[in-house]
Amino acid sequence: MQMFEKSLVKEFLLYWKNCRETEDLDKIAQGKTTVTEDGNRVELTWQINFRYGRFLFVLVKMFEPSTILEVGMANGISSAYLAKAQNTYLKEKNAHVIIDPFQSSQWFNAGTALLKRLDLYENVRFVEDYSLSAIPQLEKDGHRFDFAFIDGSHCLDHTLSDLVTADRVLNIGGLIVFDDSADFGVKYAVKYIDKYRYNLRRIRFDNNLVHALREMTNNRRRLTVYQKIAIDDRGADGI
């Protein structure tokens, strides 16, 4: 994985602004309903909006991660953007692992149904379990990832759990992205990472002044991106 330097930030922002490759998904993300596995139409709720879906698409398309870890699927909108990007350069089973304990019970398999309907399921391995237990099992089985998207429980302790376990299976140079990072417990997790996790470098997409203003107003920051630059080697006295 290449390092996300300032020149790449400019390239990313230009690509994001002018991207037209996701217009089909953009329409779905802006829709009112989606279809479950059994064919019933239900209200489309809690999905990532099309602007940030496109953000994920461009991020994956530019960095071409061989393996993607996704925590939280719901109606599958973010999963579709990630899968569509990865499918442009890679077709390989288990290259995109998605974890969601409530996909069948709460979301009636609407997420997996969407990926199959769009012919984006070829790379996907779906795990219906809690990330707290699923990610350590992936580690035990020898899985490593180049990209992680964290959009599960937004409680602070759950988000920190996803951080710790995802970081353990993330390759050096890999990207980890947190959704809803200005809200709920996620914003406190982001503050913790910024202060204490020196092995994760935050990618800022604006100059320092604009970035500070957006941080203060919390109106623009939904996704927060880090790149892993080293292993976490803190000892017993680490905070």
pLDDT digits (tens, 9 = 90+) for 174-191: 999 999 998 889 999 999
- Per the domain annotation, does 211 fall within a domain? yes
Is 70 exceeded by the pLDDT of residue 230?
yes
Tell me the residue range of the domain where 89 lies. Answer: 6-228
- The CATH number for 120's domain is 3.40.50.150
- Average pLDDT in the chain: 92
Q: What is the dihedral of CA 210, 22, 66, 226, to 10 degrees?
A: 10
Is 70 exceeded by the pLDDT of residue 146?
yes
- Per the domain annotation, does 112 fall within a domain? yes
Distances (CA, A) of 43 to 4, 32, 34, 153: 37, 6, 6, 20
Rounded distance between C-alpha atoms, residue 84 and residue 60, angstroms: 9
- Per the domain annotation, does 233 fall within a domain? no
Residue 232: CB atoms within 10 Å: 15
- Per the domain annotation, does 22 fall within a domain? yes
Nearest Cα neighbor of 172 from 55, 2, 8 is: 2
Give pLDDT tens digits for 187-227: 999 999 999 999 999 998 876 666 666 666 655 458 999 99
- Sequence-distant (≥ 6) Cβ neighbours of residue 225 within 8 angstroms: 4, 59, 175, 176, 177, 202, 203
- Per the domain annotation, does 237 fall within a domain? no
User: How many distinct structural domains can be found in the chain?
Assistant: 1
Rounded distance between C-alpha atoms, residue 175 and residue 9, angstroms: 14
- Per the domain annotation, does 126 fall within a domain? yes
- Per the domain annotation, does 1 fall within a domain? no
